[in-house]
């Protein structure tokens, strides 16, 4: 509420229904018996104070010495009206819903203490026809379609020709700046798709972008795609995917050298959120999600490793594995029905899936191979050559296996990730974190063995015997015995003869 001098009356009315001007007028006319003046010459510079809703600029309706301000969205208006209304402002809007109708409160507050001591009087309630009921889903959709209003002008293209300026059709928009204190470099600018008042968010296409922006987008897509299976700081199976993408964009800009003041990395961190950061994040996120879907492409490998088929027994076994969660644990022996809970993720299905998805001839495997030295390392300083799989890769394998089992048990393929899989991701990460905290050496051996199985790598030299052991294991006494066909042995015998 702005600080203004109020001399006589502060009052307002709130209409909480569909933005039907006739309903609003009829509601206002119900106050008292004097006719309400609705002529356009009383239009004032009012606006909606809630920028997340409609940003409405509308009329004030003068009723004798009262001023009724009506916003089309029924929102709270707190702008000063003007001298013609004796500096009166709409201060409060109240509405309450009854079972089948809307109820209005016409409120008058006398702010001059000499007149009534500042008491608040609630006048007659105004009842209007019941509002049309809509579903909760429809209500959310209508709310999401409300335009976002900003005090800043919409960005326009610097390259716009004179003929384009005279054209009423919306065209591509070039972001030219979103901070008064920063001079963004020209290579940071992005071209946005046509935007109007009915569009809630800005959109971006790769076509028309500068070479620098294209390079950042391409590298960010690859970086984010790898990060969702190697960086466990953010869950990639829920809303966290956008945070991963935002981080990938900044890392990509840094890697390409766009790190200076006013450059791409700077603008991704401090630029306008709605018209710069979000369009880039949204575009890259969509591409990373497409790559994430391919993680479930190795369902045949998973089902074969678990010995599941499409028979009723195979479907029932898949359902049982989902409920028990035993698919990440090996059996104690080949013939045993008991699972070895001391070795999580050591079931053959985990290593076989990781091998097929991340070490095979796939697009994912190629991207991981390019960053191999940064992805695989040892958690034990004394054994730097005994590489381990990253936790995020093992956890993602468990999540994909779970999703494939769900599809098999229902005999229907669901989207990836299915609902609730993010909770599995967190649970699997807790298992690995607890294992490392409980026994670091056992954890290292587990993750290193997974790496060897999945990558089909040979154990490093540190796994072998010592030089002394290598030499001593050979029975040198037996090795020194002469062989029957040794020429030197025959020559000695003939001399004796």
d(CA 429, CA 398): 10
pLDDT at position 488 is: 72
pLDDT at position 181 is: 76
Domain boundaries, the chain: 9-143, 153-290, 306-463
pLDDT at position 248 is: 96
Tokens at 267, concatenated: 């603008």
pLDDT at position 149 is: 43
pLDDT at position 388 is: 96
d(CA 197, CA 149): 8
pLDDT at position 282 is: 94
Decide: 92 and 12 in contact? Cβ < 8 Å.
Answer: yes
pLDDT at position 197 is: 64
pLDDT at position 391 is: 96
Decide: 120 and 42 in contact? Cβ < 8 Å.
Answer: no
pLDDT at position 93 is: 31
Decide: 192 and 275 in contact? Cβ < 8 Å.
Answer: yes
Query: Which pairs with CB-CB distance under 8 Å and at least 24 residues apart come from 443-447?
Result: 443/379, 444/378, 444/379, 444/380, 444/383, 444/386, 444/388, 446/343, 446/344, 446/345, 446/346, 447/379, 447/388, 447/389, 447/391, 447/394
pLDDT at position 285 is: 96
d(CA 35, CA 109): 21
Decide: 219 and 256 in contact? Cβ < 8 Å.
Answer: yes
Residue written as tokens 């005999």?
A: 411
d(CA 402, CA 489): 69
Among the listed residues 286, 204, 215, 207, the one whose alpha carbon sits nearest the alpha carbon of residue 245: 286
Ramachandran angles phi, psi of 63, nearest 5°: -125, 95
d(CA 257, CA 68): 58
pLDDT at position 280 is: 95
pLDDT in 10s for each residue of the chain, 497 residues: 433 333 333 333 333 333 343 443 444 444 332 223 332 223 333 334 433 333 434 444 443 333 444 444 443 333 333 332 322 333 333 333 333 333 333 333 323 333 333 333 332 333 333 445 556 656 665 655 554 444 344 443 333 333 344 444 444 444 444 555 788 999 999 988 876 666 667 888 888 899 999 999 999 999 999 999 999 999 999 999 999 999 999 999 999 999 999 999 999 999 999 889 999 999 999 999 999 999 999 999 999 999 999 999 999 999 999 999 999 999 988 888 899 999 999 999 999 999 999 998 889 999 999 999 999 999 999 999 999 999 999 999 999 999 999 999 999 989 999 999 999 999 999 999 999 999 999 999 999 999 999 998 755 555 555 566 666 767 777 777 777 877 776 554 444 44
Helices 391-410, 348-358: axis angle to 10 degrees equals 100
Decide: 329 and 350 in contact? Cβ < 8 Å.
Answer: no
pLDDT at position 485 is: 75
First vs last C-alpha separation in the chain: 126
For the entire predicted model, the pTM comes to 0.59
Decide: 95 and 73 in contact? Cβ < 8 Å.
Answer: no
């Amino acid at each position: 509420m702005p600080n203004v001098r109020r001399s006589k009356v502060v009052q307002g009315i709130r209409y909480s229904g569909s933005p039907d001007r006739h309903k609003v007028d009829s509601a206002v006319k119900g106050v008292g018996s004097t006719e309400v003046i609705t002529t356009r010459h009383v239009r004032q510079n009012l606006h909606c104070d809630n920028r997340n809703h409609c940003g409405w600029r509308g009329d004030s309706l003068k009723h004798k010495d009262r001023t009724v301000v009506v916003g089309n969205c029924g929102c709270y208006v707190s702008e000063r009206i003007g001298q013609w209304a004796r500096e009166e402002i709409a201060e409060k809007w109240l509405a309450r819903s009854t079972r089948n109708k809307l109820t209005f409160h016409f409120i008058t507050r006398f702010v001059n203490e000499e007149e009534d001591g500042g008491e608040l009087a609630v006048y007659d309630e105004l009842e209007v026809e019941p509002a049309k009921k809509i579903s909760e889903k429809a209500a959310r959709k209508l709310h999401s379609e409300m335009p976002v209003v900003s005090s800043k002008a919409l960005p326009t293209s610097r390259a716009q020709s004179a003929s384009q300026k005279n054209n009423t059709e919306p065209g591509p928009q070039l972001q030219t700046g979103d901070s008064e204190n920063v001079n963004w470099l020209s290579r940071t600018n992005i071209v946005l798709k046509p935007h109007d008042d009915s569009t809630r968010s800005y959109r971006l296409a790769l076509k028309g972008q500068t070479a620098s922006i294209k390079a950042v987008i391409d590298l960010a897509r690859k970086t984010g795609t790898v990060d969702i299976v190697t960086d466990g700081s953010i869950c990639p199976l829920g809303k966290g995917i956008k945070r991963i993408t935002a981080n990938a964009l900044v890392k990509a800009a840094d890697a390409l050298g766009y790190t200076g003041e006013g450059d791409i990395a700077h603008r991704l961190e401090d630029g306008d959120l709605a018209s710069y950061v979000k369009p880039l994040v949204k575009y890259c996120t969509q591409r990373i999600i497409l790559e994430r879907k391919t993680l479930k492409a190795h369902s045949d490998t998973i089902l074969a490793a678990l010995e599941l088929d499409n028979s009723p027994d195979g479907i029932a076994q898949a359902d049982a594995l989902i409920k028990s969660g035993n698919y990440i644990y090996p059996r104690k022996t080949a013939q045993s029905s008991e699972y070895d809970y001391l070795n999580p993720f050591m079931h053959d299905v985990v290593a076989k899936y990781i091998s097929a998805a991340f070490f095979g001839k796939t697009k994912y495997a190629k991207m991981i191979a390019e960053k191999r030295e940064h992805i695989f390392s040892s958690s034990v300083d004394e054994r730097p050559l005994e590489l381990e799989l990253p936790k995020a890769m093992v956890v993602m394998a468990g999540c994909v296996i779970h999703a494939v089992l769900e599809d098999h048990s229902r005999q229907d393929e669901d989207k990836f990730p299915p609902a609730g899989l993010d909770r599995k991701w967190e649970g699997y990460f807790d298992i690995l974190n607890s294992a490392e905290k409980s026994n670091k050496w056992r954890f290292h051996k587990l993750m290193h063995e997974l790496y060897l199985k999945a990558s089909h790598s040979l154990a490093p030299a540190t796994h072998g015997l010592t030089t002394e052991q290598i030499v001593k294991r050979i029975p040198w006494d037996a090795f020194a015995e002469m062989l029957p066909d040794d020429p030197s042995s025959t020559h000695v015998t003939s001399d004796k003869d």
